[in-house]
Amino acid sequence: MVSNLPWITLNQRLQQGISLINNINNKRFELLLPHILNSESADIFSDEELKKLQETLKLNEMELQLMLQSISYLFKHSNKVILKPTDLQMQLIQHLGIDETKAEIFVKHWSNEVKKDMGGLENRYNFSNIAWQVNVQTACDISNQQAIPNARIQLNLSKANEGTDEKVIMEMGEEDLHQLYNTLEVIQLKLDNMLKQKK
């Protein structure tokens, strides 16, 4: 059933874009994807390249732009969530109505890009534990400063394959702590929503 997902809203414009994606040749779609996914510029193609694409894909200018924008939109939003490739592929097919072969091609390129962004597994640290303490900077009569509470958070990280540990220490004021708390709340909410959807 075509429907919204926690990480993307399926509006009419996106549905039209997906319909255009489904109608193009699979080989051409696979050749097109790397250009879109690797582009750091808003202008992915030159005017000349766009004209050639219109002719090759038999689309008018508006249809081509909508299709390119839809692919870019899908990638940007799927890149912001933590998903297994198999789960993403299933969601693209079942919820967004993307053709099975197109979904498989998309996920293959998406996986490659995610690996590049996040680095190899061997370079990742695992979270071991956390320690914290609250300090108060003493007031200073000379500079007329008031006592300021300050939190120190220590994250203990480890590399399982190397047996090495690393400590990351953060000094945070009240405003920084609020920002960290709010960010963690958003992450927790998204994780909860994803877990609910799997049930």
Query: Over 80: is that where the pLDDT of 136 sits?
Result: no
Higher pLDDT, 10 or 120: 10
Instruction: Specify the pLDDT at position 26.
Output: 96
**φ and ψ of 9, to 5 deg:** -105, 125
Helix/strand/coil for 103: helix
> 174 Cβ partners below 8 Å, 6+ apart?
149
User: How many other C-beta atoms lie within 10 A of the C-beta of residue 74?
Assistant: 22
Instruction: Specify the pLDDT at position 142.
Output: 45
Instruction: Specify the pLDDT at position 117.
Output: 64
Q: Has this prediction a pTM greater than 0.75?
A: no
Instruction: Specify the pLDDT at position 143.
Output: 46
Tell me which residue has tokens 């000349």.
Answer: 48
Instruction: Give the model confidence (pLDDT) of 47-99 as tens digits.
Output: 999 999 999 999 999 999 999 999 999 998 888 776 789 999 999 999 999 99
Distances (CA, A) of 10 to 4, 6, 29, 119: 5, 10, 21, 30
Instruction: Give the model confidence (pLDDT) of 14-46 as tens digits.
Output: 999 999 999 999 999 999 998 888 776 657 888
Residue 195 amino acid letter: L
Distances (CA, A) of 76 to 2, 36, 56, 121: 20, 11, 26, 22
Rg (CA), the chain: 23
> pLDDT-derived band of residue 100, with 50, 70 and 90 as boundaries?
very high
Q: How far apart are CA 25 and CA 181, in angstroms?
A: 47
Instruction: Specify the pLDDT at position 97.
Output: 94
